A and B are shown apart, each in its own frame.
Chain A
């Protein structure tokens, strides 16, 4: 009575599913380009000490005489400042690399932590229902009705400046998106038979939540995560631009933009524009990748 239809079972083991995901992703050349760009930016930002022509935060190396050099000028160090120098003689390209590193570190940390917090709250709300759900989701809804930047400003004012404080502020500002997405997806999944089957084995609640519910709720969360990381990067830059984020002594694209802002109407555009371009490109690239991931993961997508 053996069901000898092994030939008939769709042969799509796990490595093939990932391969399918990659080939689907690759259908958008824009997304592939963006992904490559992100990897390049990640590389240069984390390898900043190695690839930058100059360490812009080593005060000993800076030379007042190199200030405001136009892009393409050779400075006193003997190398070309591809993007020029700022008012203190810092090589813009190097400063941007270091700034990107900060952006990525803060953006990714805040994104991951907000994801973790949001998942726990969203799952708990969906699974336990009743008063727990009402309480959590009302707080989440309330928070979602406030602009993130406003919330972040208030929190930074309360917590003070510094990398840790900014990450905390961003997590608090952003966990709500994750909580809401998780709650929505979990509410749909929790009614499904396999969750009921798991509960009726019976399996302990924690196991049902993290081993059964969570893995099936992740796909929409991955999309939200990419967008939120981009958003965190932009938020941190905004805060630093406004002067309430990281101090000028810590590299940040936002503070670079702020620093060069007073010169924006003069001939010395390169102090503000180039950090701004890099920031924009980073955020847009992450969003484009997130868009394509969302399209690929959409169940209605043609397989």
Chain B
């Protein structure tokens, strides 16, 4: 197998909130520790092959957006490595992050916030390539026109300001901006979540067409299972900062393995099932500040056993089709939850 385009190895991300100086001083005197650490991501490893679209699915607190930003070079991991084509994506510099490559580009969720409201869209699109030297001023207009047409907008729109466009059109501009940098990897962070359903279809079609045309690789972050199924080759299901299941889209939707995945599928209404009763998952999503011990899903899992409360499951292969699951029930295939497994 050829080397993957994107390689994420053992990535952890912690956000620490230190209290102010005065409280820090008091802490030192009283021996307490104020402030807190959020474990946004724990032990994430995955690889994305060239031309593949990987879906990252999960709910609040699962860390998919944080992972997306780490892959895009906006954050650096606290531990672990992220490399594109073997080279690191970003590096820390004091309080800020230095991104080391232009080959990863991100498309944000909110089309109303992701474009500079005071810059013409043509300038926004041309800025990156100009600054990095792969677009000369003379060629800029033509290139911008071509890009706008490629994403389904008229070239004449280059002189307009973002507020003159609808949400779907702005997302197209955001895609054009990303494509202008000639990326190898696109990260789409809930890129269609804020759009109306009919516009969502347009933007998804655009994405699928561009992907074929330009042989793009992409990481598609979403909470919407039906959208992910439609555009992704492989899907990673995330829960509270970890990957709990990783499988091809086909395998995942045909036969999900992890209890959370199964419960998620069962709890979401889909069109066409009529008023069939759907089974909601009980309980609340735990706060990342206070994760449950052992398997993070155990308080809500209908099949949780004593081992699940204390031992963290590891992502391991299951079945024979390359799928991976992080669940104790997976050890040995049909382990009864009450029995403590002999090693």
Contact = CB atoms under 8 A, between A and B. Distances in A.
**Does A touch B (CB under 8 Å) in the complex?**
yes
Interface of A: 1-6, 8-14, 128-130, 192-194, 196-205, 207, 211-212, 215-216
Q: Which of B116, B161, B168, B202 has its CB near the most chain A CB atoms (within 10 A)?
A: B116
A201 B152 CA distance: 22
Q: Which 8 A-B pairs have the closest CB atoms?
A: A202-B99, A193-B114, A201-B128, A193-B113, A130-B95, A193-B108, A215-B118, A194-B116
A130 B73 contact: no
Contacts, number: 99
B244 interface: no
B110 interface: yes
Contacts of A3: 152-154, 168-169, 172, 202
Contacts of A196: 74, 108
B165 A9 contact: yes
A289 B228 CA distance: 53
B94 A130 contact: yes
A9 B164 contact: yes
B33 to A, nearest CB: 21
A14 B206 CA distance: 30
A128 B114 CA distance: 21
Nearest to A207: B131
Interface string B167-197: 0110010100100010000000000000000
A202 B102 contact: yes
Contact of A212 (B74, B109, B116): B116
B137 interface: no
Contact of A197 (B94, B95, B114): B114
Nearest to A9: B164
A5 B166 contact: yes
Contacts of A204: 131
B136 interface: no
A205 B279 CA distance: 50
Looking at chain B's contact residues, the main secondary structure is loop
A2 B153 contact: yes
A197 B131 CA distance: 14
A205 B95 CA distance: 13
B96 interface: yes
A198 B116 contact: yes
A198 B114 CA distance: 9
Contact of B108 (A6, A13, A197, A215): A197
17 contacts: A1-B202, A2-B152, A5-B166, A9-B166, A13-B161, A128-B96, A193-B109, A194-B113, A194-B114, A196-B108, A197-B106, A197-B108, A197-B115, A197-B174, A200-B74, A202-B102, A215-B119
B17 to A, nearest CB: 14
Contact of A193 (B110, B149, B152): B110
A201 B114 contact: no
A211 B131 CA distance: 13
Nearest to B118: A215
B205 interface: yes
B169 A11 contact: no
Contacts of B163: 10, 12
B160 interface: yes
B117 A216 contact: yes
A201 B72 CA distance: 9
Contacts of B116: 194, 198, 212, 215-216
B209 interface: yes
A201 B169 contact: no
B169 A200 contact: no
B166 A199 contact: no
A1 B205 contact: yes
A128 B110 CA distance: 25
B127 interface: yes
B202 to A, nearest CB: 7
A211 B110 CA distance: 21
A264 B335 CA distance: 100
Given A197-B106, A201-B127, A202-B102, A11 B164 contact: yes
A5 B164 contact: no
Given A193-B113, A202-B102, A14 B152 contact: no
A219 to B, nearest CB: 10
Contacts of A5: 166, 169
